[in-house]
Amino acid sequence: MEYTYKGKPIFPTKTALNELSDIDVNLYEVPEILEKGFEIRKRAKNITERGIQRGSKVINVVVVDLVDYYKLIHAGEFTLSKKFKKLMRGKASL
């Protein structure tokens, strides 16, 4: 199976694979997070960081657009804070 986002394949780094394993997320879910997730923060022009909410946690992934493919450089999770919830509610109302 090929993992693609916007028609380009996604290749993970070894570190990113370890991070996915640590948070119990598989590589199949990465394109889904990128497509259906929300923007966590602004990054450089060719870097995308998106996340999805699962219960009280946010699963986030970071990919770099390298023209022919995307490189998955980070995957992580963090607990929702009240400040982050307010920020996300504010974005949803826009």
What is the per-residue pLDDT across 17-41, written as a single tens digit (0 to 9) for each?
Answer: 999 999 999 999 999 999 999 888 8
Q: Are strands 4-5 and 57-65 parallel, antiparallel or unpaired?
A: unpaired
Task: Give residue 36's domain range.
Answer: 4-92
pTM: 0.82
Closest residue by Cα to residue 55 from 86, 31, 85: 85
Give the number of domains in the chain: 1
- Give residues with Cβ within 8 angstroms of 72, minimum separation 6: 10, 11, 12, 13, 16, 30, 61, 62, 63
Model confidence pLDDT, tens digit, residues 33-84 = 999 998 888 888 999 999 998 888 899 999 999 999 999 999 999 887 776 6
CA dist 13 → 17, 19, 31, 71, 73 (Å):
6, 10, 15, 7, 6
The answer to whether 72 touches 10, Cβ cutoff 8 Å, is: yes
Residue in this structure with the two tokens 């607990």, named with its chain if needed:
79
